[in-house]
Structure 1
Amino acid sequence: MPNQKNNQTPPPQTAQQAPVQSAQTPLPRPEPEKVLFSWRAPARAFKKREREFWVRLVVIASIFGFILFIVEGAMPVVLLIALVFLFYILSTVEPETIEYAITNKGIKVADRRNDWEIFTRFWFTKRLNTDLLILETLAIPGRLELVINESDKEKTKKTLSLYIPEEEAAPTRMDKASDWVSKKLS
């Protein structure tokens, strides 16, 4: 008996000892998604730019690109050209109209749902003569910006307040810089 291990197996459970699943209360069914409020609006803020704006932008980008070429070489200039081209495309191609919806499970943008857990607060602002609903998120990039119709603001505010607080965030340095550049170019 010196090197024996105690290898006893537990006795099998009888029918009386086995847990009974059917006697327990059933699991609650998940609540179906219900649309509380919806509206249709453009996918992004949009403002058609005049010819003089584009001339001014190209002149500024050319001067800045020349300086970058002297200091760093060709790659930053290629990046600058790509950014100006992207800005041109976004400013000339009108956005499509999509459907936004506030549901009991989250916010839907063009049938893609964002759950309430990622939102921390919301507020309204105006950019490019367009009313925007800003939702601060825990996910990257940190904000979800939705175009909203002026007539739908109060209903949206009332519905969103059931789930997240309305509290405007202080503008970041990036917000201030983009506003300054926007005002100077306009």
Structure 2
Amino acid sequence: MVTNIQSPKPAAESIPSSSVSPAEVAIVRQPFKVLLEWEAFARPYKARNREYFTTIGAIVFLLAVILLFLKEWLLIGAIIAFAFLNYVLASVPPEKVNYKLTTRGVVVAGKTYFWSTLGRYWFSLKWGIPILHIEHWGLPPQLLLLFDEKVINKDQLKEAINKYLIYEKPEKTVIDKASEWLQKKVPLETEPASPQNSTK
């Protein structure tokens, strides 16, 4: 009995790993550039009169008396703390801060918020002060950038931000609608008479 014994095939030559060069990946980074820069107040501010603080004090006192009978000590403390914070914000004018829109993100008073952590943006008007709102996926949940339309306008802001974010104003929540209704129905101070009405 004759068996055919085939000679083993020569093993394929192994290619040394050193001879295989990985593909080079070029990472192109956008150079840092300041798109817009301006100075404005850190928060909206409106000078309050004595009637405003008197009304706030009366409301806090009445709520504290009611909660005192209910023995809600934590709520009483929270209301007093809120009233004190409101007094400080209404009596102390804010300082001016520096705002920047750059190719990396938004800079507020030296702190950078990168575009990847920001969401939608929109505009609003409070006490005659234009405000740029930007969603933030962190703390604070929303950035408020005040600006003077005599120095910088909305079209300039949109042109700079549209490259990175979507312009979309969110719908008002139930809390927002209730707050607006309460401010209209229960004003904390009377508005000063306009010059036209005062001359009549």
Relative to the length of structure 1, the TM-score reads 0.81
8 Å CA contact 2:51, 2:188 repeated in 1: no
Correspondence for 2:133: 134
Determine the C-alpha separation between the residues in 2 that align with 1:77 and 1:129.
34
Aligned CA distance change for structure 1 residues 40 and 141 (closer, same or farther; 3 Å)? closer
Cα RMSD after superposing both structures: 2.3
Shift of 1:40: 0.5
Indicate the residue corresponding to 2:181 in structure 1: 180
Unaligned runs of 5+ in 1: 1-13
Q: 1:79: how far off?
A: 1.6
Listed as ranges, the gaps of 5+ residues in structure 2 are 1-13, 190-200
- Measure, in 2, the Cα distance between the counterparts of 1:47 and 1:58: 18
- Larger CA deviation: 48-57 vs 142-151: 142-151
Please say if residues 69 and 76 of structure 1, whose CA atoms lie closer than 8 Å, have aligned partners that are also in contact.
no
Distance 2:26 2:19 in 1: 16
Residue matched to 1:99: 98
1:53 aligns with 2:56: no
Deviation per residue, 1:130-152 (Å, 9 max, x gap):
11111123335532221121232
- Cα distance per residue 1:9-30 (max 9 Å; x no partner): xxxxx99532677x86475363
> Once the two structures are aligned, what percentage of the paired residues are identical?
30
Rg: which structure is higher? 2
Whole-Å separation in 1 of the counterparts to 2:72 and 2:138 = 35
Distance 1:129 1:111, change over 3 A: same
In structure 1, what is the equivalent of residue 161 of structure 2?
160
Change beyond 3 A, Cα 1:176–1:140: farther
Distance apart, 1:46 and its partner CA: 0.6
Does the residue aligned with 2:132 lie in a helix, a strand or coil?
strand
Partner AA of 2:175 in structure 1: M
TM-score (structure 2 length as normaliser): 0.76
Separation in 1, partners of 2:110, 2:79: 34
Partner of 2:80: 81
